[in-house]
Amino acid sequence: MRRQYEIMAAMKTATPNADIATAICVAAVAALTASAGLLPPETGIGWKNGWVDEWKSDVPGLLVEDSTEDVSDNLQKVVRRWTWTGKAPLEKVTLSVRCRIEGEPVALKPFIPGILLYGNPSNRGRRDWRVPVFAGEEGEFAIFEEHRLPMPFALVENAAGGDFVAVHTLPSPVRGAVLEDQWWSLGVETAKSGVDIVMLSGPVGYNRRRSVVKELTSGCMPYDEAYITLQPGQIVEKTFWIQTGRTTKDAFGVERAVEASLSLFSPFDETRFAPKERIVRAKRNYAVSRWVEYDGGVCGFPILPKDINPKSPITVGWCGCAATCGYALPVLDMDPADWTMAQRSLDFICDAFGDMVRGDGMFAVQYDVDSGKKGGGDPVSCGQGLYSILKAIRFAERKGAGRLDAAKWRKFAQKVSEAVAHDILRPEWAPPASSGPGFLVAPLVLASELFGNADCLAAARKLADSFARKYFVCGATYWGGSCDAGCEDKEGALAAFQGYVALLRHALKTGDRDSVRRYERLARHSMYVMLSFTVVWDIPMPPGRLADHAFKSTGWTVVSPQNQHLDVFGVLGTPDVWWMGEYLKDERFKHLAAVMYRSCYQMTDASGSIGEQIQHTNYGLHGRPTPGRYRGGYNEQWKVFWMTAHFLNAAAEFKEMGADL
């Protein structure tokens, strides 16, 4: 519906030169301010020293109108309309929308998906431009191009358990822009009495520097003169939704905002993408093509293909990639030869790395095929590698009896699991600084079931509970799960989510009602945080490799506030998202899991291979870009095996669950 406003009261306070449309806008703002925090419109005129020269509440000839629609009790749709009625072009203009949440700025925590997670507190004090930060201090701002946003909203949440406000936008480029591929921007800025959620028709900046965008892992680039020119008769509209509510222990503001974004954009149509059967067949065939074997029984799946590195190491590392095939290939059961490869590859892994298990359970994960040297080993790679081996043992002893011999696998996995559990259960054990070790929780739970080891379950709970104390609060988020990002990222949330789901499923099996309630709540929270990295809309791409393939971004996931590109890592979490949909009796999550799995098959070539670093924004790991140079490209040659492994791992889990994608 279109709200009609009483204009007489507004006209009494309007300036003599104000026209009727301006008076209507004043009344509209007055009606919205009390309930939603929408501030009177201001227009930037001119450009000086890298930013708007002057903000004006009244520009003669520029009409500003708002139309509103109540979507629900706490969600209101707003369309702001600017009409330029002047006879000549209006140059160097910046259009704006501001929505304020009142309170002490340092207590108001901003959450912008994939970019600014409660202000990225772990990176405060750093001055290397790797990560945007925002602490609510005077003069701080963090404003970014909309095409960076996986879920296009900005949230400000009261850490003390008070109100929250989220502004969801309909992202769009700007007509009349001066810069190439200029988009609307969204972000936050401190005010004397609170924090503003702000939308601008182009200007961006972060870490107290105006007119810059994040360009590389370690830097930013100038993005100056991001204003527009309005032509006579030109109309510009911006659609957004204002969501308000109260934070509670059962529903933090970020969870409510993610829920609203899913409802507004409805990213649940998996039929737009390749069917799972085609994906699994292609990825299996590609995995088999990567098989190598050398003298002395050395065999398996190297991290890079032969055309890139003829002697690439065989590795369990980088997300347990080589171990995955030993689990997935027999479960998928596409060819008798797959069982042989699975047996031999896991036998080699357990033989090669069995004598490299440290006291804390970490083990070497990389084997150099030339020298025989072994190295590496961290909770992310060891945790995921161990989990694949344990799932292979479970399958071999349940359904693969007579076709698979899990004796070596069991010996290796039991040795690692017991060492990890013993380390965590030490009285002097200190909780980890990041949630990367969360990838150890699920394998510890499974080890407790396979080996009847109560210490493994106790260690899993102790580790998971340390994350709950640290991250299950408003103002902190899971971080540090990946090796290539020094900040909060989706891998950290995914690690915690995977662990909580494993504990929840175990509690359901054992009938432990208290643990069911606890881990269900933690699983929901970590799932929503992890899903905040998931793209829910198709970001239009400029000419480039992505546009060449009509690339659709829905279902992909942003890596981190440091690495601002998309990747397929989210595929690893899709079985647990699907399972949560089954458990919660919410079909949306099952469809979303299917979209996430099937969409990430895009860009796969005829051989079954896919590149890395999908560049939906002006960001790349290397080089010195200019605006527009990076958006629309990707690294086609970076064919690391973990991307194939995640598809196979998830497919095997789906099959074991009986999931229909």
The model's pLDDT over 543-566, given as tens digits with 9 standing for 90+, comes to: 988 999 999 999 999 999 988 999
One-letter identity of residue 158 = N
Q: What are phi and psi of 397, to 5 degrees?
A: -85, -15
One-letter identity of residue 530 = M
Query: Which pLDDT score is estimated for 507?
Result: 98
Q: What are phi and psi of 81, to 5 degrees?
A: -125, 125
One-letter identity of residue 132 = P
DSSP 8-state code for residue 125: T
Low-confidence ranges of the chain (pLDDT < 50): 1-36
What gap in Å lies between CA 36 and CA 5, rounded to an integer? Answer: 17
What gap in Å lies between CA 312 and CA 294, rounded to an integer? Answer: 12
Report the alpha-carbon angle 556-559-560, nearest 5.
140
Query: Which pLDDT score is estimated for 485?
Result: 63
Query: Which pLDDT score is estimated for 499?
Result: 98
DSSP 8-state code for residue 357: B
8 A C-beta contact, residue 365 and residue 316: yes
Quick one: tokens of 155?
Answer: 């949230």
8 A C-beta contact, residue 79 and residue 67: yes
Query: Which pLDDT score is estimated for 7?
Result: 27
What gap in Å lies between CA 436 and CA 648, rounded to an integer? Answer: 22
Q: What are phi and psi of 371, to 5 degrees?
A: -95, -20
Task: Tell the residue number behind the tokens 């912008």, with chain if given.
Answer: 112
8 A C-beta contact, residue 463 and residue 405: no
Cα 391 to chain centroid distance, Å, stands at: 26
Query: Which pLDDT score is estimated for 318?
Result: 78
Annotate 216-245 with b (16+ C-beta within 10 A) or e (fewer). bbeebbebbebbbebeeebebebebbbbbb
Q: What are phi and psi of 528, to 5 degrees?
A: -65, -40
What gap in Å lies between CA 237 and CA 324, rounded to an integer? Answer: 49
Annotate 413-439 with b (16+ C-beta within 10 A) or e (fewer). bbbbbbbbbbbbeeeeeeebebbbbbb
Condensed to tens digits (0 to 9), the pLDDT of residues 481-511 reads 655 666 767 899 999 999 999 999 999 999 9
Task: Tell the residue number behind the tokens 């709970």, with chain if given.
Answer: 461
| Residues across the chain | 661
User: By CB neighbour count within 10 A (0-12 exposed, 13-18 middle, 19+ buried), where does 281 fall?
Assistant: middle
Query: Which pLDDT score is estimated for 463?
Result: 98
8 A C-beta contact, residue 459 and residue 417: no
Query: Which pLDDT score is estimated for 624?
Result: 57
> Among 647, 27, 659, 537, which Cα is nearest to 284's?
647
Query: Which pLDDT score is estimated for 5?
Result: 27
Query: Which pLDDT score is estimated for 626?
Result: 57
What Cα–Cα distance (Å) separates residue 456 from each residue in 385, 408, 423, 450, 503? 17, 20, 10, 10, 12
> Among 585, 472, 466, which Cα is nearest to 522's?
472
What gap in Å lies between CA 257 and CA 254, rounded to an integer? Answer: 5
**Which helix (H) or strand (E) covers residue 214, if one does?**
strand 212-216
Quick one: tokens of 219?
Answer: 């830097």
What gap in Å lies between CA 312 and CA 132, rounded to an integer? Answer: 36
> Among 504, 489, 436, 472, which Cα is nearest to 114's?
489
Rg of the chain over all Cα atoms, to the nearest angstrom: 26
8 A C-beta contact, residue 492 and residue 438: yes
What gap in Å lies between CA 252 and CA 246, rounded to an integer? Answer: 8
What Cα–Cα distance (Å) separates residue 553 from each residue in 13, 200, 519, 613, 632? 47, 23, 31, 13, 11
Query: Which pLDDT score is estimated for 194?
Result: 93
